Amino acid sequence: MSASSSRTDQAAIRDLVENWAKAVRSRNLDGILANHSPDMLMFDVPPPIQSKGMEAYKKTWQRFFSWSQDSGVFDINKLDITTGNDVAFVTALMRCAGMKANGEREELEFRLTIGLRKIDEQWIVTHEHHSIPAS
């Protein structure tokens, strides 16, 4: 892989992740689901901790939207991208906000890892892993 090709792939992946985060902030479900494999796998913080396939992934966002209540907070604090010819991964430190059951605002720092495959010259998310540090 040439340095130029690597920079182009990294820029494309950065755009993909930033657009995904923007879609989350604006509650745009189609934007969130874009560029994801139909048979993707996600590990998440709240149950279910594992979601397989697009329908299961889609359901997790309804739970997130209920919790976040239009907070508009879903920020990337640090983003690193590693690319190969047809696979890549992203690691990020992020922040989101929502409401606890008692109505008190809650902010969470979380970690994100994304696995991607390049299919027909387009980067596709095949795996997402969200986690929070243990207390």
Give the model confidence (pLDDT) of 9-29 as tens digits: 999 999 999 999 999 999 999
Fold of 3-131: Nuclear Transport Factor 2; Chain: A, (3.10.450)
Q: What angle do CA 80, 86, 91 make, to 5 degrees?
A: 20
Structure tokens, 79: 């983003």
Give the model confidence (pLDDT) of 36-50 as tens digits: 999 999 999 888 899
57 burial via Cβ count (<10 Å: 0-12, 13-18, 19+)? buried
